[in-house]
Amino acid sequence: MERLPGVSVCFPAYNEEQTIARVLEDAHALLSVSAIDYEILVCDDASTDRTGTIIDEFAGRRPHVRVLRHATNKGIRETFEHLYNEATKEFVFLNSADGQWATAVLLELLPRTRDWDIIVAARRQKHYPALRALISWGFNTVPGLLFGVRTHDAGAVKLVRREIIERFALVSRSPFSEAERIIRATRAGYRVTDQPTETRPRTWGRAGGARAKLVTEAVADVARVWWALQREARSPSHRKDRASESSHANQR
């Protein structure tokens, strides 16, 4: 049997007391009977409900679980990055704590790491109202127009080679960082694809992706990333790196 790479399974959590126990139990039940070298990381972003207590109770009985905690609410982008930076395995699987993606999708993605460095669990159907669907469409359309890179469903769950996370310093300050990472990885020659995936509608709480503040920050990040890439492209060291990357990509 072919050996699968190790994976850090990560969950950001903020006020998910209705779903977090089931999501973590499902992940543990799946991974503990597998042959995968894994760890589970959960980051409580200063929840004001019982989320933190539930996570602690779960982790206290599980040796493969690490809990991260924020003293104050830092938001989804900072929570993502904290989890990414704490991961130790070869690949990082960032899932949601609201139960929309079953952790079992990881078993479909891992075999594809033979050929791909980032695999996006792209949603077959987004259970969004009209405004949120429009914002999501723009979030995934703009990178193709401005950067010539298809980001697939950048806001979806994904499996990412940790080398990519460590390599690129991002300039985004909003969840557009997920798209920026794909843009930078693709331009550097890493292989990115998607895996069409069935998801469940969110049954608890409210998704915050359509908040005006986040949308404004994402728009600012598009300009920030474009300018950063233009500046980097003009630097002599970048041109040398690009030549090396092209040679490396041709050898793959």
**Residue 30 to residues 23, 60, 102, Cα–Cα distance (Å):** 11, 18, 10
pLDDT tens-digit map of 113-136: 999 999 999 998 887 778 878 888
- Whether 23 has a pLDDT exceeding 70, the answer reads yes
- Whether 80 has a pLDDT exceeding 60, the answer reads yes
Looking up tokens 């609201």, which residue turns up?
98
What's the total number of domains in the chain?
A: 1
Assess if residue 1 is contained within a domain: no
- Whether 110 has a pLDDT exceeding 70, the answer reads yes
Residues of the chain above pLDDT 90, percent: 76
Across the range 64-93, mean pLDDT stands at 97
Q: What is the per-residue pLDDT for 131?
A: 82
How does the average pLDDT of the chain come out, rounded?
90
Assess if residue 26 is contained within a domain: yes
Q: What is the per-residue pLDDT for 244?
A: 52
Torsion angle in degrees (nearest 10) through CA of 121, 127, 20, 196:
-10
Taking the CA atoms of 79, 123, 154 and 9 in sequence, report the sign of the dihedral they define: positive
Assess if residue 2 is contained within a domain: no
Assess if residue 112 is contained within a domain: yes
Across the range 232-236, mean pLDDT stands at 85
Q: Count CB-CB contacts under 10 A for residue 157.
A: 24
Residue 69 contacts residue 52 (beta carbons within 8 Å): yes
Q: What is the per-residue pLDDT for 130?
A: 84
> What residue numbers bound the domain in which 140 lies?
7-251
**DSSP bridge pairs for 42:** 11, 67
CATH of the domain at 233: 3.90.550.10
